[in-house]
Amino acid sequence: MIRLDRMSFTYDGATRPTLRDVDLTIDEGELVLVAGRTGAGKSTLLNAFNGLVPHFTGGHLDGSVSVQGVTTQEKPPREFSHLVGVVGQDPLAGFVTDTVEEELAYGMEQLGVEPQVMRRRVEETLDLLGIADLRDRALRTLSGGQQQRVAIGSVLTMHPAVLVLDEPTSALDPTAAEDVLATLARLVHDLGTTVVLAEHRMERVIPFADRMLWVPGDGRVVDGTPAQVLAQLPAAPPIIELGRLLGWDPLPLSVRDARRAATSVRAELDASDSAVPRRDPGEGKVLLEARGVVVRYGQHVAVREVDLALHAGSVTALMGRNGSGKSSLLWALQGAGRRQAGTVLAGGVETAQVSRADARRAVGLVPQTASDLLYLESVDQECGAADDESGAEPGTCRTLLDRMAPGIDGTQHPRDLSEGQKLALVLAVQLTAAPPVMLLDEPTRGLDYGAKSAFVEIVQALAADGHTVAIATHDVEFVARVADRVIVMAEGEFVSDGPAVDVLGGSPAFAPQTAKVLGPRWLTVEQVREAVAPR
Amino acid sequence: MASAATAYFLPRDLHPAAWWVWALGLAAAASRTTNPWLLLVIFGVACHVVVSRRPDAPWALAFRLYLYLGLTIIVVRLVFRVLLAGGQGQTVLLSLPSVPLPEWAAGVSLLGDVTAEAMLSGLYDGMRLATMVICLGAANALANPKRLLKSMPSALYEVGTAVVVAISVFPQLAESFLRVRRARALRGGPKQGRMKALRAIVIPVLEDALDRSLQLAASMDSRGYGRAGRDSARTRLLTGSLMVVGLIGVCVGVYATLDGTTPRVLAGPVLAAGAVVALIGFGVAGRRVQRTRYRPDRWRPAEVLVALSGIGVAVVLFTTSSFDPLDVNPSLSPLTWPPVAVVPLLGILVGVLPSFFTPPPRAPHAGQVQPFEQARLPVGEGA
């Protein structure tokens, strides 16, 4: 159906091709999972399927890409719209109309589909994706998961031969991502839709993927069954890492498989008592103390009389569903967000009553869209401005940045950095003011496995330096690796607060994969690795 | 018979163009009179129809703003009459000291005697303008402006899409502006100069907007925007000139119709000719388009009734104003109570018919409640 024949692609101004001599055939009814680091060429590969690469992006394409016999050289992307449906990362950015029903019909209007057929397909698609009750809603008022399902629906109504999704869940919280992935599973299982999917939450998709492509970043595309390809991936989901560590063959692809394979190991680990005891999060000096914090927006109470103490050397994770008050709490603690009642003392100052520059020296905050803080043309200028703003020695910011993410070219534009490098830069900018307290709002969004591991080390180094770090996040595996203390919020209140092992291990909602396979005491693959190392 | 009535009155949203024709009819009628009674009745008619037929949608709530705008127009008119129009008329209501302005503003003096004639003429003028604005507000409240863009002739489809996309950019810009400004406070707030601080906000906001537009363009391209047949250069030139000529004709015609002093040849005939030329242009341009419409608004008897009732009001006022000008434009000297003229009054009441003889708007959909999934626990990465 889709054929790539010795396809090579080089972006304008790039010295080497992003993809080189790729031969690939995608057949009807397959679910193909595409893996690879960000920036390795996944999107380039996917966008080549309908001609957006190179028609839209520019660059040079050798060889050929053809869909049902028509090559992308012959026609522009719009002539492939009935063959290849493309769904991007940010659904809102791709919407053309403003209500659900009109958005579903938009593509068909362009194709000139008969009105009765359009009407029928819209109704069918609304039901298929479970969004019938949203039909009249304005697209902007939908939650992220609903928006992404509408985006999928808006290409499905054109009945494309192939559905191409480029990291459809990377901008979503886990609940929304679940919705979208469950919808995809349904399309694949019940309808046999051909789907090509790039996805960093691989573990959700692996069980029903027929094939896996790995784009390592050197121009190759590795093609094989999921088990074959996963064995080669440098950074993989915990379950795969566990399988590799314990030498399971074949590699387990789902929690179910892994639990069955783990029976003997589980008994062995239960007998050993070497589950690494973590630091007690409450033993360091109190660096930030908040009492009776209240944040409300009109009638809506976002944070309800919360008390919180953060201790030196500890990493605290704030978890809870969207809208449970995590972000509002972080902004209120920093003093830049609103706070109607309560006190926050950090470094001897009340954070809401000092100037922004002084509050910054007491408490640093990295917001959800970290790049909002960057506005200059190069990394060096950003670092210089940061030194200036915080009255630090020139070079402070750059030194911090080099410690966290070595080897970033100072003349690069911040926009051209990878997500992980951007995060490190913003963190360095905020750390230049040397705040003992660092707050991070959803830092791991859009980070791949490799970047996430690097970020875990950065956070651990900060804590070891005597900082206290609080992170609002949905990412359970990240929390399992990095946090000493976990607080779960709901409706603006703390519903549980305790050491990570206690809060995460036993919870069905928050348990990391390792705990699901091996029991509540084992949160990460590293713990297991240390426990089994002597053998 | 009863079943026909039931079918006729099934709740649905009427064609937006019908409401616009109705509202423009009322506004044109208002433009022809300064009789406060007639203006009040037009205003009442517009309000009645809005209250009984407006859908429960965000754009419909803006009607209140138009009311405030109307009130502001009247107040501003009166204030200016007090400030500037000193000395006209005989009936002095209030004597204020006159402030002559310097030489270069010769002939103008501030304040002075406030006369009933000046105030009344200001009031009537203000009421006329306010009523016209409120009529347009009524159209906005009754018909979704974006749906109006959608029901444009297919020749203008591309333009319509561009306008819709442009409109949706503004809330996005406002959103990212607020977000970036909030984030800037985290870097210590504005320590640098004003220009630099502004730049620190504007650059990320514009980057955001540019990113989104590129993504939107890619998405539109891959969903087939613009694939419906391309015209040859010659047809494009032909349709372009037909439309421009036609629209100029329509503009001249409308102006002449509304301004009673221009030669009548420029009114009806030019308007009609312009409309015909423009329609031919649309027809030629639309012929090659292979695009379809999803659930287009249809023009049915109720729409005809709405449009005709608006046109009727305009026609009655235009004819009576040439028969009996004093009824529609009451005299200010000598100062008299404005007459209550029966014929124009009844004519205006035709405009209220849509309140009773059109189907009610569709009820808001059940899906307006908060989605249930917001209430679920987040499930972990590997759940």
Mutate to test the interface with B, among A78, A442, A496 (most CBs of B within 10 A): A78
Tell whether the model's pLDDT for residue B321 goes beyond 80: no
- pLDDT at position B381, please? 34
- Distance between CA atoms of B163 and B131, rounded to whole angstroms? 28
Name the more confident of B198 and A240: A240
Condensed to tens digits (0 to 9), the pLDDT of residues A449-486 reads 888 888 999 999 999 999 999 999 988 889 999 999 99
**A77, A336, A371 ranked by CB distance to B186: nearest:** A336
Query: Largest alpha-carbon pair distance within chain B?
Result: 88
Tell whether the model's pLDDT for residue A69 goes beyond 70: yes
Residue A437 binned pLDDT confidence (cut-offs 50, 70, 90): very high
- State whether CATH 3.40.50.300 applies to domain A2-232: yes
3-state secondary structure of A73: coil
- The first and second tokens of residue A413, run together, are 């534009």
Sign of CA dihedral A73, A74, A77, A82: negative
Chain-chain contact of B291 with A357 (C-beta, under 8 angstroms): no
**A119, A173, A415 ranked by CB distance to B378: nearest:** A173
- Distance between CA atoms of B49 and B357, rounded to whole angstroms? 11
Condensed to tens digits (0 to 9), the pLDDT of residues B123-136 reads 998 999 999 999 99
Name the more confident of A128 and B169: A128
Question: What residue type is A400 in one-letter code?
Answer: L
**B182, B200, B218 ranked by CB distance to A336: nearest:** B182
CA A409 to chain centre: 25
Chain-chain contact of B225 with A110 (C-beta, under 8 angstroms): yes
Q: What is the ipTM of this complex?
A: 0.84
Residues in chain B with CB shorter than 8 Å from the CB of A178 are 379, 383
State what percent of residues in chain B have pLDDT above 90: 15
Residues in chain B with CB shorter than 8 Å from the CB of A392 are none
Tell whether the model's pLDDT for residue B375 goes beyond 50: no
Give the gap in angstroms from C-alpha B175 to the nearest C-alpha of chain A.
Answer: 12
* Lowest model confidence (mean pLDDT) among A51-55, A264-268, A271-275, B205-209: A271-275
Question: What residue type is A315 in one-letter code?
Answer: V
Interstrand relation of A300-311 and A286-297 (parallel, antiparallel or unpaired): antiparallel
Residues in chain B with CB shorter than 8 Å from the CB of A107 are 223-224
Chain-chain contact of A178 with B379 (C-beta, under 8 angstroms): yes
Q: Is the peptide bond before B334 cis (omega within 30 degrees of 0)?
A: yes
- Do A286-512 and A2-232 fall under one CATH topology? yes
Tell whether the model's pLDDT for residue B368 goes beyond 50: no
- Distance between CA atoms of A52 and B218, rounded to whole angstroms? 7
- Distance between CA atoms of A106 and A126, rounded to whole angstroms? 14
- pLDDT at position A291, please? 94
- Rounded mean pLDDT of B213-232? 79
Residue from B130, B128, B126 nearest B78 by CA: B126
Q: How many H helices and E strands in chain B?
A: 14, 2
- pLDDT at position B364, please? 63
**What torsion do the CA atoms of B252, B254, B260, B262 make, to the nearest 10 degrees?**
10
- State whether CATH 3.40.50.300 applies to domain A286-512: yes
Give the gap in angstroms from C-alpha B59 to the nearest C-alpha of chain A.
Answer: 12
Tell whether the model's pLDDT for residue A127 goes beyond 70: yes
- Rounded mean pLDDT of A380-403? 88
∠ CA B37-B42-B47, rounded to 5°? 125
Residues in chain A with CB shorter than 8 Å from the CB of B364 are 136
Give the gap in angstroms from C-alpha B9 to the nearest C-alpha of chain A.
Answer: 21
- Rounded mean pLDDT of A250-261? 88
Give the gap in angstroms from C-alpha B71 to the nearest C-alpha of chain A.
Answer: 30
Q: Where are the alpha helices (DSSP H) in A112-171?
A: 115-128, 144-156
Q: Which of A255-259, A270-274, A443-447, B237-241 has the highest mean pLDDT?
A: A255-259
**A136, A173, A390 ranked by CB distance to B365: nearest:** A136
For residue A113, give the chain B residue with the closest CA. B292
Cα of first residue to Cα of last residue in chain B, in angstroms, is 61
- Distance between CA atoms of B329 and B120, rounded to whole angstroms? 12
- Residue A441: strand pairing partners: A472
Interstrand relation of A349-350 and A211-214 (parallel, antiparallel or unpaired): unpaired
Domain borders along chain A are 2-232, 286-512
**B171, B188, B199 ranked by CB distance to A356: nearest:** B188
Give the gap in angstroms from C-alpha B83 to the nearest C-alpha of chain A.
Answer: 43
For residue B289, give the chain A residue with the closest CA. A112
Name the more confident of A493 and A535: A493
Chain-chain contact of A174 with B378 (C-beta, under 8 angstroms): yes
Chain-chain contact of A115 with B367 (C-beta, under 8 angstroms): no
Tell whether the model's pLDDT for residue B319 goes beyond 80: yes
Give the gap in angstroms from C-alpha B15 to the nearest C-alpha of chain A.
Answer: 16
- Distance between CA atoms of B121 and B275, rounded to whole angstroms? 36
Q: What is the pTM of this model?
A: 0.79
State what percent of residues in chain A have pLDDT above 90: 39
Chain-chain contact of B222 with A106 (C-beta, under 8 angstroms): no
Residues in chain A with CB shorter than 8 Å from the CB of B363 are none
Chain-chain contact of A93 with B216 (C-beta, under 8 angstroms): yes
Residues in chain B with CB shorter than 8 Å from the CB of A173 are 378
Condensed to tens digits (0 to 9), the pLDDT of residues A184-231 reads 888 888 888 899 999 877 877 888 889 999 999 889 999 999 988 988
Chain-chain contact of B186 with A430 (C-beta, under 8 angstroms): yes
A307, A292 contact by CB (below 8 A) = yes
3-state secondary structure of B337: coil
Mutate to test the interface with B, among A339, A372, A427 (most CBs of B within 10 A): A372
**A372, A508, A516 ranked by CB distance to B180: nearest:** A372
Chain-chain contact of B293 with A115 (C-beta, under 8 angstroms): yes
Residues in chain B with CB shorter than 8 Å from the CB of A319 are 378
B243, B155 contact by CB (below 8 A) = yes
CA A51 to chain centre: 27
- pLDDT at position A176, please? 79
3-state secondary structure of B45: helix
User: What residue has token string 């002084």?
Assistant: A358
- Distance between CA atoms of A409 and A45, rounded to whole angstroms? 27
- Rounded mean pLDDT of A150-176? 87
Q: Average pLDDT, whole number, for chain A?
A: 88
Give the gap in angstroms from C-alpha A300 to the nearest C-alpha of chain B.
Answer: 14
Chain-chain contact of B225 with A97 (C-beta, under 8 angstroms): no
Give the gap in angstroms from C-alpha A21 to the nearest C-alpha of chain B.
Answer: 25
User: What residue has token string 């109720």?
Assistant: B302
Tell whether the model's pLDDT for residue A300 goes beyond 90: no
Name the more confident of B279 and A461: A461
Residues in chain B with CB shorter than 8 Å from the CB of A134 are 367, 371
Give the gap in angstroms from C-alpha B301 to the nearest C-alpha of chain A.
Answer: 22
Chain-chain contact of A96 with B182 (C-beta, under 8 angstroms): no
* Lowest model confidence (mean pLDDT) among A96-105, A314-323, B291-300: B291-300
Give the gap in angstroms from C-alpha B41 to the nearest C-alpha of chain A.
Answer: 36
Residue from A316, A503, A209, A178 nearest A512 by CA: A503
Mutate to test the interface with A, among B177, B208, B222, B368 (most CBs of A within 10 A): B222
Residue B382 binned pLDDT confidence (cut-offs 50, 70, 90): very low
Chain-chain contact of B215 with A90 (C-beta, under 8 angstroms): yes
